[in-house]
Chains A and B, each alone.
Chain A
Amino acid sequence: EDKVVQSPLSLVVHEGDTVTLNCSYEVTNFRSLLWYKQEKKAPTFLFMLTSSGIEKKSGRLSSILDKKELFSILNITATQTGDSAIYLCAVEANGRKLIFGQGTELSVKP
């Protein structure tokens, strides 16, 4: 069965800290991995990764994929309270549909 596992499930840090969120997966016919940020409402797209070893970066957020070890990490540097959210990892499985992990709930304290 295809599955996506995220860790940790929750994390509390202080502003200015750097955090690393993990996503591991087991799916057939892997094509890509995506990261989403979900605040109080709907998930919003952050990154899509298809190739190993190539870092995607947007401001203080960056992500990298390791297709050999079947995982991805999402790094957030110099965290701010506005980074508090649930971060979702999703993997494209058969039929071009996404399988989501449980999410990591990040809380950034002032």
Chain B
Amino acid sequence: DAGVIQSPRHEVTEMGQEVTLRCKPISGHDYLFWYRQTMMRGLELLIYFNNNVPIDDSGMPEDRFSAKMPNASFSTLKIQPSEPRDSAVYFCASSFDPLEQYFGPGTRLTVT
């Protein structure tokens, strides 16, 4: 299996622009997680899905962030409008068991 696939791997955008991050989970995994990692705050859970349904979005920082999972093999995390403080590495992870998560390579987002 190719593992969790994320795209793009790097994204540089200007403040105010819309950013869409993409994730393809491991086939057969029914949990999908979006995390954000920064030096200041470490690794934070933003939202997670079970069987394509959002279960907990309490970590989503504000209305500028939204996530969707239209099917079992694809999820997006959108930031609109983006701000410099959104600069971080965004990880997607998937699992059978919600705890033993397999992480993707991450998307490094820089908002200037």
A residues neighboring B (CB under 8 Å): 32, 34, 41-45, 48, 88, 90, 92, 95-103
Closest CB in chain B relative to A55 CB, distance in Å? 19
When C-beta atoms are compared, the residue in chain B nearest to A95 turns out to be B56
Question: How many B residues are at the interface, by size bracket?
Answer: 10 to 19
The answer to whether B106 has its CB under 8 Å from any CB of chain A is yes
**B42 touching A48 by the CB < 8 A rule?**
no
Contacts known (A34-B99, A48-B99); A97 close to B106, Cβ less than 8 A: no
Secondary structure type dominating chain A contacts: strand
Closest CB in chain A relative to B30 CB, distance in Å? 13
For B105, what are the chain A residues with a Cβ–Cβ distance below 8 Å?
A: 41-42
**A101 touching B99 by the CB < 8 A rule?**
no
B residues neighboring A (CB under 8 Å): 4, 33, 42-45, 48, 55-56, 91, 98-106
When C-beta atoms are compared, the residue in chain B nearest to A43 turns out to be B103
For A95, what are the chain B residues with a Cβ–Cβ distance below 8 Å?
A: 55-56
How distant is the Cα of A47 from the Cα of B94 in the complex, in angstroms? Answer: 17
